[in-house]
Structure 1
Amino acid sequence: MAGDFDGIALVVDWLDACRNRDLATLLDLYADDAMLKCQCGEAKVSEGRAELESYWRPRLGALVPTAFGLEEIMPTADGVVLDYLSHEGKPVRIAFTFRRDGKIQASHCMPVAESQQHAACMQDYAG
């Protein structure tokens, strides 16, 4: 992982901002040109602070009690992968990559069941 920062701690801060419905703090964790790719339902790509705000504002406004519960957090060669419960309480996997200054450069989320199928397919091709 690039830089001298703790990616896992940054992802925990991301979860806390989401749980607290703190949109300003959440957006401050992202680089100004960050990209978010969401495959939870209809695929959506958001880029830059304004689009990220449009993506996150309605999700933070309608949280279920179990929203943003931590399931598992794993460092990877490229960043951090987080399994958590979405704003609707559904299991989601999100992969984060970071810039050297400790800002989120990109995130890509999908339902956990799909990410596990994707991983199994990749193993089939690798093996």
Structure 2
Amino acid sequence: MRDFDQMGLVVDWVDACRRGDLATLLDLYADDAEVECTCNGTRLYRGRRELETYWGPKLNAFPSAGFGLEEIHPAQNGVDLEYSVAGALRIRASFRFSAEGKIHSTLCEPAHQDAYEGCVC
């Protein structure tokens, strides 16, 4: 049983993305967390250093491009989120959590669109 607010944690994730706040974003992830991105082929990033390499350039682009929360809802083992970048590009992200109340894994993929070159998730 999870005794922390999973939805609240994802909202904190959204807020960090909107602000371009890499340090806060990384602090939401467990030390052994991983991000799997399937936007332009499948890539897996593990641990804080790889997550920093993955998220740093993306967060720099979000504030100027615009980052919008489209949908958020509980899922069987976590939270599913859909967000938009630049008002058009929509990304689906599924979050799973550690027992300590941190993000353990994120899977992102394009949502509601055809294959898109240059996905920023």
Q: TM bucket by the smaller chain?
A: 0.7 to 0.9
TM-score (norm 2): 0.86
Moved over 4 A (4+): none
Structure ranking higher in strand proportion = 2
What amino acid is aligned across from residue 108 of structure 1 in structure 2? Answer: L
Runs (5+) with no aligned partner, structure 2:
114-121
Runs (5+) with no aligned partner, structure 1:
115-127
Q: Superposition RMSD on alpha carbons, in Å? A: 1.7
3-state SS of 1:62 partner: helix
Indicate if the aligned counterparts of 1:3 and 1:99 stay in contact, CA closer than 8 A.
no
What amino acid is aligned across from residue 92 of structure 1 in structure 2? Answer: I
- 2:25 matches 1:26: yes
Indicate if the aligned counterparts of 1:59 and 1:87 stay in contact, CA closer than 8 A.
no
- Look at both structures and tell me which one has the larger radius of gyration over its CA atoms: 1
User: Equivalent residue for 1:38?
Assistant: 37
Structure ranking higher in helix proportion = 1
- 2:70 matches 1:71: yes
TM-score (norm 1): 0.82
Amino-acid identity (%): 49
Q: How does 1:1-127 map to 2 (within 5 A)?
A: 2-63=1-62, 64-67=64-67, 69-86=68-85, 89-113=88-112
What amino acid is aligned across from residue 7 of structure 1 in structure 2? Answer: Q
